[in-house]
Amino acid sequence: MSSIRILKNFLIIARHKSVASAAREIGLTAAAAGQQLQQLENEIGIELFDRTKRSLTLNHHGRSVIEPIQEIIAQYEALGSNLKSDLTGTIVMGALVSTLMGAFGKTLNELKQIYPELEIKLIAGLSSNFLDQIIEGSLDAAIVTESPYALPQNVQWTELYKEAMILISPNVTTKRNKGPKHSELPFIRFERNTWTGHLVDQTIRANKLAIQESMELNSVEAIIELVRQGLGYSIVPKLANIAWANDRQLTIEELPGKTIFRKVGLLERRKHSRQNITQAIKQQFLSSLSKKA
């Protein structure tokens, strides 16, 4: 029977959708990782992936075994946990890079200090991609913005905090040169097909802004840096862990119209094997907020 390690490696392969990519994370050669996957499929008696030359995609059988395998791993990692008060084991979470720069990053650090035996594996990406990975079970949970669309019934999202959408422009004002108004600069847009991109469009409409389109990126951090360099202006969420008031290269403006907020929360399946950990994450986060209040 396959070992716990092989079962864990199967979940990593399912997440990467590539044996070669997964092997780099696992620390094996692609051939060895492929042999482990073949061993698992032989023992179960079914193929778990639809294979092409470049990628693997979980088929119906593969998706159906994700949760049972996660449960087996969780039960194994929980052995002896009744004798401990701390959370242990591993949770694989997706996270927007900007949320790690926001309020979630600090909470994550606090949680790790309280539960040193808890391993949290973070995968960077986009909210819409995380939704698919959570549904198929290759991610346990993700920190994402609120979806502009209705979520599937087997998935739930819990709001943790919110950030106002603000207008940022380069601070080029000097005694001799006041510099161009932001409306005279090109607009650097967050990728419009993303969930945060929908909020940018909503902010533009709510404030009746006339913009001159320029670049389109899917990184809040990259957009902020381009604005610092004077390449344009943008609308971004006001990330919690950035010292906006001390940034001499940026001008921050609260928009005069309706304030649009980016709501950030934890996305997970309604039933999964890591709910004790996701519940602890939510409780720790809300506890941190109450201390600030």
> Is 85 among the domain residues?
no
Question: What pLDDT is attached to residue 78?
Answer: 67
> Is 7 among the domain residues?
yes
- Does the global pTM surpass 0.75? no
User: Residue 184 has which token pair?
Assistant: 């005279």
What CATH number should be reported for the domain holding residue 174? 3.40.190.10
Helix (H, G, I), strand (E, B) or coil at 243: coil
What CATH number should be reported for the domain holding residue 20? 1.10.10.10
Tokens 């199967």, residue? 10
> Is 106 among the domain residues?
no
> Is 240 among the domain residues?
yes
Q: Which residues of the chain have pLDDT under 50?
A: 83, 174-177
Question: What pLDDT is attached to residue 181?
Answer: 63
Question: What pLDDT is attached to residue 265?
Answer: 92
> Is 158 among the domain residues?
no
Question: What pLDDT is attached to residue 80?
Answer: 58
> Is 172 among the domain residues?
yes
Question: What pLDDT is attached to residue 175?
Answer: 40
Into how many domains does the chain fold?
Answer: 2
Question: What pLDDT is attached to residue 183?
Answer: 65
Contacts 24+ apart (CB under 8 A), 205-214: 206/255, 206/257, 206/258, 206/260, 207/255, 207/256, 207/257, 207/258, 208/257, 210/183, 211/187, 212/185, 212/186, 212/187, 213/186, 213/187, 213/189, 214/186, 214/187, 214/188, 214/189
Question: What pLDDT is attached to residue 116?
Answer: 87
pLDDT tens digit sequence for 101-123 = 666 777 788 888 888 888 888 98
- Which residue range is the domain that position 26 belongs to? 1-67
> Is 128 among the domain residues?
no
> Is 225 among the domain residues?
yes
**What stretch of H or E contains 166?**
strand 155-170
